[in-house]
């Protein structure tokens, strides 16, 4: 049986920030949900593009040469190799679409690196 995923319900299942949860998988890609608040870290992904779809709030994505604001219902694709810094002035809910092997902190390993993602 095919599963219907209710994003609003899935977002109620966790409260922490910057710890993505897996809600689906297809063709070697994870569909993840995350709540963001505050500033993340500068990083890039050598081998993967990332899609950030904003479900709630406004996400600011900083780049070395500027910044983009992504509103609810909008998405941005950050190309592989591009340094970026996600910033959520208020809580933001995002859906992420990226290859299974993509680490949330990309080329950086620190206390925000999530190696074992929960499935919800």
8 Å CB contact between 103 and 46: no
41 located within any domain: yes
113 located within any domain: yes
99 located within any domain: yes
1 located within any domain: no
Distance CA 55, CA 16 (A): 16
Encoded tokens for 72: 């609810």
Condensed to tens digits (0 to 9), the pLDDT of residues 16-68 reads: 999 999 999 999 999 999 999 999 999 999 999 999 999 999 999 999 999 99
Say how many domains are in the chain: 1
8 Å CB contact between 117 and 31: no
CATH of the domain at 103: 2.60.120.10
> What's the CA angle centered on 12, arms 10 and 16, to 5 degrees?
105
Condensed to tens digits (0 to 9), the pLDDT of residues 96-111 reads: 999 998 888 788 888 8
2 located within any domain: no
13 located within any domain: yes
106 located within any domain: yes
Q: 18 is in which domain, residue-wise? A: 7-119
């Amino acid at each position: 049986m095919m599963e219907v995923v209710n994003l609003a319900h899935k977002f109620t299942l966790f409260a922490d920030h910057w710890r993505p949860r897996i809600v689906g998988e297809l063709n070697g890609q994870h569909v993840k949900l995350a709540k963001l608040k505050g500033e993340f870290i500068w990083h890039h992904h050598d081998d993967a593009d990332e899609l950030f779809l904003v479900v709630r709030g406004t996400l600011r994505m900083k780049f070395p040469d500027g910044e983009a604001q992504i509103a609810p219902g909008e998405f941005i694709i950050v190309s592989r190799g591009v340094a970026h810094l996600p910033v959520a002035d208020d809580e933001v809910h995002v859906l992420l679409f990226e290859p299974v092997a993509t680490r949330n902190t990309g080329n950086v390993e620190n206390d925000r690196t999530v190696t074992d993602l929960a499935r919800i």
